[in-house]
Amino acid sequence: MVIQRGQVYWCKLDPVFGHEQGAVRPAVVVSSDEYNKTQSPLVAIVPLTKAPAKTPVHLRFAPGDTGLDSSSTALADHARFVDRARLRGEPMGWLKPAAMAVLDRQLGRVLGLS
């Protein structure tokens, strides 16, 4: 499966520990295309939820930003690497470049990279 940065997949996040986001939910791929082309079995994702943003770290995106049917909140504080086998089927959407840039800035803040 060719996985690209910005694609949105159904992702099986269980099992989880503590306050980690779980269940099967949309997640946007945030690892670089260069990394995604390697033999690594992992991919970096940010889970999405329909719930409104609960903290300033969470980003709300309109359906037009994601290709999904409803508004979604990107949980930047739940970013993680997962096994590619957790991604289900074909991509269900794409994060538009402007939305991806906003998520990149937020991830930079959360990870101390900016």
Q: Where do the domains of the chain lie? A: 7-108
**pTM (2 d.p.):** 0.95
pLDDT band at 2 (very low <50, low <70, confident <90, very high): confident
Burial 95-114, CB ≥16 within 10 A → b, else e: bbeebbebbeebbeeeeeee
Instruction: Point out the least confidently predicted range of 7-21, 26-40, 51-65, 86-100.
Output: 7-21
- Taking domain 7-108, whether its CATH number is 2.30.30.110 is answered by yes
What is the three-class DSSP state of 87?
strand
pLDDT in tens, 16-53: 888 888 899 999 999 999 999 999 999 999 999 999 99
Decide: 79 and 107 in contact? Cβ < 8 Å. Answer: yes
